[in-house]
Structure 1
Amino acid sequence: MTNPIDALIAEKGVLLADGATGTNLFAMGLEAGDAPELWNESAPAKIEALHRGFVDAGADIILTNSFGGTRHRLKLHGAQDRVFELNRRAAELARTVADASGRKVIVAGSVGPTGELLQPLGALTYDEAVEAFAEQIEGLKAGGAEVAWIETMSSPDEIRAAAEAAIRVGLPYTFTASFDTAGRTMMGLAPKNIFGVTEGLSEQPAGIGANCGVGASDILASLFDMTAAKPDATVIVKGNCGIPEFRGAEIHYSGTPELMADYVRLAVDGGARIIGGCCGTSFQHLAAMREALDTHHRGERPALDEVVTRIGPLRNKIAANSGAGTGAGEARRERRRARA
């Protein structure tokens, strides 16, 4: 498989992934409970505007509007028989914007969880999960996606099923988990153990990491754990833009462009190779992140208490239990892991 991520990292060093899909689509008029994937056909200009906003802000990687694009998620909207066409259209829209940018922008096909529990906890078999993901990824590949971007996962088995599907379809893949339950995923996967999830598969991921679920401080703690475990890995972090806060009936994220810029600097120093934003991350936030990435030179690996001082307290993971360590000295002694 041709892996565009390695080639672009070799050219640029660290890549900037895009920001939030859902948050920005809600700002464009998407209603709660609606399927964003249906907008690929009913409101394509808005989806192109989403991608264009991130490309204009400096993204090197844009994710297709297909997070809920498996038959299991689309059946909630009566669209389970339209998996291929909706995913193909998602990739086509992103491809159009990327190709018009005048520079290399990678189109990554977003693949989210099925929303079902795999056996023995639920009814979905592993083979059925592979089939569902392969159906989605076939559409993404047909539309021009270059990478299957498996994201916001909690189950190691579901990650592996999606990875196996990508291999079957013939796309390189990345995967990210949400370490949002006391520093682990909901299914108990710890950041330091993420590298073993796809062990034994015929193709290994182009990047591994963390996204969503937590704010910048907590996702950086997960990054430090990963880069301590495997320092040479391509590690991805795509953290939420601060902490969600209710203002009346609306959710606002506390992160400022300045905070997200500092998150980028800390992530680079912590060994991340792909950095982006998740929920709440706007075009303005991403532009500040781009500037930070372009002007920052990688420094000494930060201590976790420095992260807390600069961008706020841990809200999900207890610092004392973090494999990140609380000082740069420990980081140097262990010579640690890797990020995306």
Structure 2
Amino acid sequence: MHNPIDALIAEKGILLADGATGTNLFAMGLQSGDAPELWNTEAPEKIEALHQGFVDSGADIILTNSFGGTRQRLKLHHAQDRVFELNKKAAEIACNVAAKAGRRVIVAGSVGPTGELLVPLGAMTYDEAVDAFAEQMEGLKAGGAEVAWIETMSAPDEIRAAAEAAIRVGMPYTYTGSFDTAGRTMMGLAPKDIHGVVDGLAEAPLAVGANCGVGAPDILAALLDMSEAKPEATIVVKGNCGIPEFRGTEVHYSGTPELMSEYVRLAVDGGARIIGGCCGTSFEHLAAMRAALDGHRQPAARPDIAAIEARVGPMRNKSAAQSGADSAPAGRRTRRARG
């Protein structure tokens, strides 16, 4: 399969991915509980403004507004029969913005969890998960998305099902886990094990990594584990912009542009090749991250946990090893919208 990510890395060295979808759409008027994907047809000008803001801030990769684009997610909004339409439109909007950028911008089709548990913990079979992801990706591919960007995953079998769907549809793919529970995903996957999740499939991923989670220090700790386990891998980190704080009924993120800039420098030093922001990351944050990346192309000394905490604050999410435990959680949290 064509590898647009490696091609752009060869040109630019390290790539900047975009920021938060949900946070910025809420600022544009999206209401809590609403499906962002419906805005692809109901308010396409706002989705275009989202992508344009990220491109103007310097993003090399923009993610389509399709995180909850499987029929299982869309069923919650009585839109399960609109999977192809909404995903195709999501990709078309992003591609139109990328085409006007005046430089190379990769459009990646965002694919989030279905929200269902796979057998034996839940009712969804592996084959049903593959079919669901393939249905979504057919729409993304038809709209022009170049890469299936599988993200915010917890369960290894769901990652593998999404990867198999991408291969079936004929799309190159990446995948990221959210290591937000004692240094692992909610379903117990450790960062160092992210590389082997799709072993044996017909096509390997273009990149793997981490997104979301609980803030910059923790995702950087996950990065160290991932890059140590496989130094040659193309690794993605797309961390949250600080820690969420409730101010009345509104959620604000504690991260400043300065903090996110320092996070970028540490991510470069830690071995990431694609760096972006997740929840809370605004256009202003991303512009600061672009400037930090452009000023820090050559990695400095590889940081350790002490250096990370000294520069971007304490870890909130102690790993199983750090806490003296070694148990995987049995439950699972799902997210409505990326960012």
* TM-score over 0.5 for the pair: yes
Quote the Cα distance in structure 1 between the aligned partners of 2:225 and 2:202: 26
* Rounded Cα–Cα distance in structure 1 between residues aligned with 2:277 and 2:33: 23
Aligned to 2:318: 317
Q: Which residue of 2 aligns with 1:325?
A: none
Between the two proteins, the alignment pairs up a number of residues equal to 322
Measured against aligned partners, the alpha-carbon deviations of 1:70-126 in whole angstroms (never above 9, x if no partner) come to: 000000000000000000000000000000001000000000000000000000000
1:80 matched to 2:71? The reply is no
CA contact (8 A) 2:175 2:209 kept: yes
In 1: Cα distance, 2:166 partner to 2:6 partner: 17
Unaligned runs of 5+ in 1: 323-340
Gaps of 5+ in 2: 324-339
Cα RMSD (Å): 1.0
In structure 2, how many angstroms separate the alpha carbons of the residues matched to 1:244 and 1:43?
27
* CA drift at 1:303: 1.6
Which amino acid counterpart does residue 285 of structure 2 have in structure 1?
Answer: H
Match for residue 243 of structure 2? 243
Which residue does the alignment assign to 2:302? Answer: 301
Report the 3-state secondary structure (helix = DSSP H, G, I; strand = E; otherwise coil) of the residue aligned with 1:62: strand
Deviations along 1:2-58, whole A, 9 cap, x unmatched? 110000001111000000000000000000110000000000000000000000000
Residue identity (%): 79
Shift of residue 69 of structure 1? 0.1
Contact 2:108–2:148 at 8 Å: present in 1 too?
Answer: yes
Matched residue, 2:196: 196
Q: Give per-residue Cα distances to partners, 1:185-224, cap 9 Å, x unaligned.
A: 0100000011110000000000000000210000000000
Moved over 3 A (4+): 318-322
Q: Distance in 2 between matches of 1:128 and 1:190?
A: 25
Structure 2 residue 181 is matched with structure 1 residue 181: yes
**Distance 1:124-1:266 versus aligned 2 partners, 3 A rule:** same
SS at match of 1:119: coil
SS of 1:236's partner is strand
1:151 maps to which residue?
A: 151
CA distance in 1, matches of 2:60, 2:311: 26
One-letter code aligned to 2:88: R
CA contact (8 A) 2:91 2:109 kept: yes
Residues 18, 63 of structure 2: 8 Å contact kept? yes
Q: CA 1:151–1:207 in 2, change beyond 3 Å: closer, same or farther?
A: same
Q: Is the 8 A contact 1:25 1:50 kept in 2?
A: yes
TM-score with structure 2 length normalisation? 0.94
Distance 2:322 2:28 in 1: 41
AA matched with 2:139: G
More off after superposition, 296-305 vs 54-63: 296-305
Report if the CA contact (8 A) 1:304-1:319 is conserved: no
